[in-house]
Amino acid sequence: MGKYIVKRILSMIPLLFVVSVIIFMFIHLIPGDPARQIAGVDATIGEVNQIREQLGLDRPLVTQYIDWVTGLFQGDFGISYSNSMTVMELLVPRLPITIYLTICSITWSALLGIVIGVVASINRGRALDLVTMVIAIAGISLPNFWLGLQLMQIFSVNLRLLPTGGVETWQGYILPSIAMGAGIMCILARITRSSMIENLGKDYIRTARAKGLPEPRVIMSHAFKNSSIDVITVTALQIGALIAGSVVVESVFSISGLGRLLVDSIGYRDYEVVQAMILFFSIEYMVINLLADVLYGIINPRVRYE
C-alpha cells in the first residue's frame, strides 16, 4: 500500500503540469480583455495598452505561463486585477466556508443515501423499494439552483425558520447543504441499491445464511462490505460534483465562498484568481480520489496495490 501511495503521488506531478497548462490556456482564451475591464468603456486605446503593460498581459503567453508557475512554487499566486489584493488574501477567508458547506452536504447525503439504498435492496420489488427509487429519480432530476430557490421560499420566506442567505450562523448552512446534497443522496441511494442487490444474490451470501448467521450481520458484514467499493468510488466522484455545485448554490444563497468568488472573478476577467481557484479544485479532486483508493485497501483487504 505504501509503494502504491508513493507512486500515485508521483504520478500527480505530470498530471498537475498538464492541468496547469490547460487551465492557463483556456483562461486566456475567454473572450474579453481584463485591461479594458479595468480601464472602463470610455478609456482610450493608449490607456488600455498601458494597463496591459502594467499587468504583463502584453508579453508572450509562454512567458506569462512560466512566470505564473514560478510564482506558484514560491507560494505567490498572483495579485487580483479587480481589487489589487493578493490571491491568497481573497481565498483564505472564503476557503473554510466552502469546506464546511461541502462537508455538511456530503455527510448527510452519503449517510442517508446509503441507508436508503440498503433498505431498498432488502425490500426489493416491494412498495418501499418503489417509493424510494421514485424519490431518488426525482431528486436526481431537480437542478440544485431550482431546489435552493424552493427551499428558500418555503423555509425562509413562508415559514421564517431559516435565513435566506449567508452563513453567519450554523442555520445558514442547512438550506444550501440540502440543495447541494439532494442529488448526490439520490445517486448514492441508487448505486448502493444496485450493488447490494448484486451482492445479495452471490453464493457467499447464501453460504453465510446457511451457516445461521444473523441477517443484519449477513447484510452489513458481508453484502454491504463488498458493495462499499462502489459506494466509495461514487462518493469520491460526487465530491467533485459538490465543488462544481457550490458555484451555483453559493450564488443563490449569497454565500461568500469560493464558488461565488469564482463566478465574480470570471465576470471581471480576473485571470490570476480564476487560475488559482481552478488549480486548487483540481488538486483537491486528485487528493480525494487518492484517499478513495487508499480506503479500498482498508475496507476490503483483498484490494491491495503493492
The helix/strand/coil state of 255 is coil
Grid coordinates of 237: 466522484
Q: Does 234 or 193 have the greater pLDDT score?
A: 193
Q: How confident is the model at residue 254 (pLDDT cuts 50, 70, 90)?
A: confident
Q: How confident is the model at residue 301 (pLDDT cuts 50, 70, 90)?
A: low
Q: What ranges do the domains of the chain cover?
A: 2-73, 87-299
Nearest-5° angle of CA 246, CA 251, CA 253? 95
Which whole number is the average pLDDT over 255-269?
84
* CA dist., res. 158 & res. 198, Å (int): 44
Percentage of the chain with pLDDT > 70?
96
pLDDT digits (tens, 9 = 90+) for 178-205: 999 888 899 999 999 999 999 888 888 8
Class at the top of the CATH hierarchy for domain 87-299: mainly alpha
Residue 306: pLDDT over 70: no
User: How much of the chain is helix, strand and coil, in % rounded to 5?
Assistant: 80, 0, 20
- Say what the pTM is: 0.81
pLDDT digits (tens, 9 = 90+) for 73-121: 888 888 888 777 888 998 889 989 988 998 999 999 999 999 999 999 9
* CA dist., res. 144 & res. 180, Å (int): 6
pLDDT, position 115: 92
